[in-house]
Every structure is written in structure tokens, then in C-alpha cells.
């Protein structure tokens, strides 16, 4: 895939992303820990803001004592500007715990069954693993490397249950922590990391859903310069997610898409049934059988021909409902 952020060049941003703070102070030199497992590496690294903490099988990157987040502080708008061919944005969200001085942004990309996650933590507080829902496995092997001229930690994962996860972690001079995680090899992940840049584009236009299923209620809304995502709950129906972005979007559907018409525009529709799981609960006196899953999941993806903005509706809703909702999206 060619660059998904036209006009940005990583070379011009290499100096701003590079951290002089990563250099070890005079008289102190960071030990070469290449070849050690994540469970064996040292907790502190000379010159670094974020340190390591090994806990119950995983390695976490943690910051110093929390600092108050300035009022109105926005999530960090860093993301990769280059991805391997076939990868597209599947999710973007903001999070963290502002009361504890933590603000972060997460980006997820998919290519078939392969997934790539990128997280940026705005300031050095909290735990990378705990905040993002994942951590570096203690069995992964550390390989020291450089990203945009800065020291970085690449962890070669060990396949488990048919999955492989490699991790690449580095920080910049402002104290931002970057974390890239996926099944790609070291060379590909380093190339992606080298392309990471701060997004400077204008915010997207404001759109609104004017037709909603009965019982729908907004649960959360995440807004970054190039993507807006809303999660809605629907009483008795599970809910749906609505995303619009200037970047290519991954629908998450499998199989062959159906071409549908919406207000003169063409879209692609997928529908599949989640796997059902039968659970048997036994007690001394009785046995109860129940079925979990087996619900229908649908996705509708289309592009506005005028603005070139991509829209995606996903959830446990029927085809006609999604199309009707798509036809009643308005610009504020």
C-alpha cells in the first residue's frame, strides 16, 4: 500500500521525533541486553523516561508519578504514515486516565486475519500494558535497534496457540511512548515505525445519524484529526459502531461482499453469523444447556463521491436497517 497520508515525509520529522533524552547520561552506558527474554531485561534504562516492570509473565513500560494533565489537552495525533500493502484502518480510539496524567490514542489495522496495533501515550504515567489491554510477553526476545535515530526495543515473540506477536517500543524527547504490536517481522515493523508522524490535518466535517433504531443510545465517541468513531448500544439488539474517516477503512467482513445502492452511491455489504457455543452447566441435581453466540453481524462500507470520506456501519443489525441509516446521515 502506498502512503496513506499524502504529503508527509518521515525524513523531515525524524529530528523532532528523535529523543536526545534516550542517550545515556555521562558516565552511564546502557547495557547491551540483546538476546535476553523480556523477563530478564533490566527495569531501568539510563536516560529513558519510561521504565520497565515485569509482573506475572508480562513486561510493562511504566512512567514516573502521575502529573496533572493541562485543561483541554488533546490525545496525541501520531500514527504510521506507511503500511504494508493490504492493511487498512479497522479502529481508532482515544483513552487513558486524565486524572492520573495519562492520555493516549490507539490505532488498529487489519489485512485479512492479520492485525497491527499502534499506541501512543502522551505523557509518562500509568502502565502501557494495563492501559492498552496487552503487554510484552516475558518469553519474547529483546533485540536493540534504532527508530528515527533513537534507541528502541524490538521483542521477537514466541508463537503460541497459532499466533505470533512481535512488539516494538520507543519514546521521544517529549516523553511520548510509542508501541507497535503485530505479527509482521522486524524489518516491516521498523519501516512502519520510521514512518510515524504527527498528523497536522484539519479535523473532519461533523456528521450526524438522523435515523436510529428504537432504543439506540450513544455509548462513546472518539475523535482524531482523520477519523471519528461512535459506539451505540441498542436495547435488546447488541448495538453498532459508526466510523467515518479520510483514510481507507477495513470493514471486518469475510466472504464476498454484496454491492448495494444508497442515495445513488454504491456500497459494499457483508453479513455473517458468529459461531454458536453450547455450554452445559451441571449441578448435583440438574443439568442446564444454553447457547452463546450465533448472532448475525453485518457491515456496510461506502465512500462519499464528493468528499471522498469513507463511512462504515457495523453491528448486529439487518441489511435494510443499515442502508436506511446510511441514507439518513447528514452533515452538521
The pLDDT, as a whole number, for residue 2 is 37
Same fold, 10-198 and 207-331: no
Using alpha carbons, select from 254, 257, 215, 261 the residue that is nearest to residue 236.
Answer: 215
Please enumerate in sequence order all residues whose Cβ is within 8 A of that of 67, keeping only pairs 6 or more positions apart, or say none.
Answer: 101, 123, 125
Topology, domain 207-331? Jelly Rolls (2.60.120)
pLDDT, greater one: 118 or 57: 118
90: left (phi over 0), alpha (psi -120 to 50) or beta: alpha
Q: Enter the pTM of the model.
A: 0.78
Please tell me the class of the 10-198 domain.
alpha beta
The pLDDT, as a whole number, for residue 92 is 92
d(CA 18, CA 225): 23
CB 93 within 8 A of CB 77: no
The pLDDT, as a whole number, for residue 64 is 61
CB neighbours of residue 202 within 10 Å: 8
Using alpha carbons, select from 111, 77, 106 the residue that is nearest to residue 93.
Answer: 106
Kindly list the domain boundaries of the chain, sorted by start residue.
10-198, 207-331
Find the radius of gyration of the CA atoms of the chain: 22
Region 212-234 average pLDDT: 93
E-assigned strand segments in 177-295: 177-182, 197-198, 207-209, 216-224, 227-234, 240-245, 258-262, 265-273, 277-282, 287-292
d(CA 186, CA 172): 20
Region 256-282 average pLDDT: 80
pLDDT, greater one: 301 or 30: 301
pLDDT, greater one: 7 or 140: 140
Q: C-alpha distances in angstroms, 299 versus 150, 296, 308? A: 41, 10, 19
The pLDDT, as a whole number, for residue 69 is 58
In tens, the pLDDT along 6-30 reads: 333 333 333 334 433 333 444 445 5
pLDDT, greater one: 290 or 268: 268
The pLDDT, as a whole number, for residue 70 is 60
Name the residue with cell 441435581. Answer: 285
Residue 323, φ and ψ in degrees, nearest 5: -65, -40
In tens, the pLDDT along 31-49 reads: 678 888 888 888 777 777 7
Q: C-alpha distances in angstroms, 15 versus 20, 121, 148, 171? A: 10, 19, 8, 13
> How far from the centroid of its chain's Cα atoms is residue 228's Cα?
13
Amino acid at each position: 500500500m502506498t502512503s496513506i497520508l499524502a504529503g508527509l515525509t518521515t525524513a523531515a520529522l525524524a529530528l523532532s521525533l528523535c529523543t536526545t533524552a534516550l542517550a545515556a547520561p555521562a558516565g552511564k552506558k546502557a547495557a547491551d541486553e540483546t538476546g535476553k527474554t523480556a523477563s530478564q531485561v533490566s527495569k531501568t534504562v539510563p536516560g529513558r523516561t519510561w521504565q520497565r516492570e515485569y509482573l506475572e509473565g508480562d513486561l510493562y513500560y511504566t512512567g514516573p508519578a502521575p502529573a496533572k494533565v493541562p485543561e483541554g489537552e488533546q490525545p496525541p495525533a501520531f500514527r504510521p504514515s506507511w503500511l504494508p500493502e493490504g492493511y487498512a484502518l479497522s479502529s481508532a480510539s482515544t483513552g487513558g486516565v486524565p486524572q492520573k496524567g495519562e492520555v493516549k490514542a490507539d490505532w488498529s489495522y487489519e489485512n485479512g486475519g492479520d492485525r497491527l496495533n499502534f499506541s501512543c501515550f502522551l505523557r509518562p504515567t500509568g502502565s502501557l500494558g494495563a492501559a492498552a489491554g496487552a503487554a510484552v510477553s516475558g518469553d519474547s526476545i529483546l533485540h536493540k535497534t534504532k527508530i528515527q535515530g533513537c534507541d528502541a526495543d524490538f521483542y521477537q515473540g514466541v508463537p503460541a496457540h497459532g499466533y505470533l506477536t512481535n512488539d516494538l517500543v520507543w519514546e521521544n524527547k517529549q516523553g511520548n511512548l510509542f508501541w507497535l504490536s503485530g505479527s509482521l517481522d522486524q524489518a516491516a515493523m521498523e519501516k512502519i515505525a520510521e514512518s510515524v508522524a504527527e498528523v497536522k490535518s484539519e479535523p473532519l466535517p461533523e456528521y450526524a445519524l438522523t435515523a436510529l433504531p428504537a432504543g439506540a443510545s450513544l455509548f462513546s465517541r472518539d475523535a482524531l484529526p482523520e477519523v471519528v468513531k461512535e459506539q451505540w448500544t441498542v436495547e435488546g439488539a447488541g448495538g453498532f459502531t459508526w466510523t467515518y474517516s479520510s483514510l481507507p477503512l477495513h470493514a471486518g467482513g469475510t466472504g464476498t461482499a454484496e454491492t448495494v445502492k444508497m442515495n445513488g452511491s454504491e456500497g459494499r455489504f457483508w453479513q455473517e453469523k458468529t459461531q454458536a457455543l453450547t455450554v452445559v452447566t451441571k449441578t448435583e441435581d440438574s443439568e442446564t444447556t444454553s447457547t452463546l453466540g450465533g448472532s448475525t453481524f453485518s457491515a456496510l462500507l461506502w465512500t462519499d463521491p464528493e468528499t471522498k470520506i469513507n463511512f462504515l456501519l457495523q453491528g448486529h443489525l439487518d441489511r435494510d436497517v443499515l442502508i436506511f441509516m446510511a441514507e439518513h446521515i447528514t452533515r452538521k
